[in-house]
Amino acid sequence: MRNKDPDGYAGLGRPADAPPGPADLNLLRTFLAVHRSGSFTAAARLLGLSQPTVTAQMRSLERQVGRELFERLPRGVAPSPYADELAARVVDPLDALAEVTGDTVPAGERPADPVHLAGPAELMCLRALPALAPLVADGLLLRAATGLTDPLLDELRAGRHDLVIATARPRGRALSAVPLMDEEFVLTAAPHWAARTGGPENLAARGPGVLHGLPLVTYAEDLPIARRYWRHVFGRRLDCRAAVTVPDLRGVLSAVVAGAGFSVLPRYLCADELASGALVELYAPEDPPINTAYLVQRPGSAVNPQVARVRDLLVEAARAW
């Protein structure tokens, strides 16, 4: 299905400027299954169809809309930008229709649907996946993805995920969100760097200027967590350039423990290192900055009953996080 035409229309049998005709509902259902699962083969299993049937249906839909929808990859397929837009338009109506009509395939004959869960790599690996282990042992099929909140929420709207752990509440009414856990942020460094600051009392008396000259380790060039900490705790703007950036807070933690510099980290992530003395809390404000993580889904989209099991277990487990 790879298309060498730069506009993505070659071989689809429709001029680039031709208006698309109405698409068959069954084709759209198959399209959404492929978009969600990322594979013709996986979509065929979910729908109880053969893989050639799914392929033929997608070719038929491509002819109808005059666009290439998926690019074949060594494993699975990747949706085109147009496919992402189409999924965003049809996902809620199709999910609502499925809720009204119910399953057309008896439960005992239908293959189990995987639950697609996404969130920040650290929360997924240290909290969510261990909490869901009992459900996996009980037969749950889980597909996990990691990334930044805004792109993951866009993919949730497009039907790519069933649930997303987000580090910010989504705007608008298109998504529903429940608070999952609070992250407390800690200013921390290895002991030899902590000694250079003169201790928390010196930082409290002289302000964050005592950190001048210490390398900052963070997960992004714009220092989002550190800047928030500075505004909340010190009431001033952080004017600093990162010495090390690692796009995974677990990597930031490893670098700080190894002595690369100081950082601001979620307490849950570095609690063991603080307890063991591998890290030192440089300052303990009375009112530390807190960030709330949310569990997000599309209203009315949980046709798969396993999604509710995952959601309920995560909410319950988060009470102990």
pLDDT at 37: 79
- Predicted TM-score of the model (pTM): 0.66
Burial 199-237 (b: 16+ CB within 10 A, else e): ebeebeeeebebbeebbbbbbeeebebbbebbeebbeee
Q: Are strands 290-297 and 163-166 parallel, antiparallel or unpaired?
A: antiparallel
Helix %, strand %, coil % for the chain, to 5?
Answer: 45, 15, 35
pLDDT at 319: 92
8 A C-beta contact, residue 193 and residue 214: yes
pLDDT at 301 over 70: no
The crossing angle, in degrees rounded to 10, of helices 25-37 and 40-47 is: 120
Both structure tokens of 210 = 């005592």
Q: Which helix (H) or strand (E) holds 184?
A: strand 176-189
Residues 6+ apart with CB under 8 A from 86: 31, 65, 69
Give the confidence band of 16 by pLDDT, cuts at 50, 70, 90.
very low
Both structure tokens of 48 = 């109880």
Q: What percent of the chain has pLDDT over 70?
A: 87
| Number of helices (H), then strands (E), in the chain | 13, 11
Does residue 132 or residue 39 have the better pLDDT? 132
Q: What percent of the chain has pLDDT over 90?
A: 55
User: What's the whole-number average pLDDT of the chain?
Assistant: 85
8 A C-beta contact, residue 79 and residue 37: no
Both structure tokens of 110 = 């239908």
CA atoms within 13 A on the CB side of 80: 21
Does residue 247 or residue 12 have the better pLDDT? 247
Q: Which of 107-116, 170-179, 225-234 has the lowest mean pLDDT?
A: 107-116
pLDDT at 222: 94
What's the whole-number mean pLDDT along residues 290-314?
85
